[in-house]
Structure 1
Amino acid sequence: ETYHGKFANSEVEVKSIVDFVKDHGNIKAFISIYSYSQLLMYPYGYKTEPVPDQDEL
């Protein structure tokens, strides 16, 4: 199960990341690394076509 919190950014860990991004507004990319399954995961709204450097990723 996944707990999404009471409302958007209600959890301390998430709010810390949101505040950091807001304070450093010139961020070009954000990569979240998970060790489970050793997968490179894309956001739900991303295109399904592979990127040009897919093999390197």
Structure 2
Amino acid sequence: MFELVSRRHGSANTVVTFSEWHEVFPNAGYVVSLVDWLVHRAEVIVIEGESYRV
């Protein structure tokens, strides 16, 4: 995931949705680095409610 984000950084839009970050990234260090990279110059939109994908 970090490799994908780093390749797209500054050249393309990226949308990331996870409801359970700890299941996708069990190591907290990876999450901190990835979120830091993602929110740099980002617009964060929090959408609350039931997921229609379930």
Normalized against structure 1, the TM-score is what?
Answer: 0.27
Larger Rg: 1
Q: Greater helix percent: which structure?
A: 2
Higher relative contact order (CA 8 A, sep 6+): 2
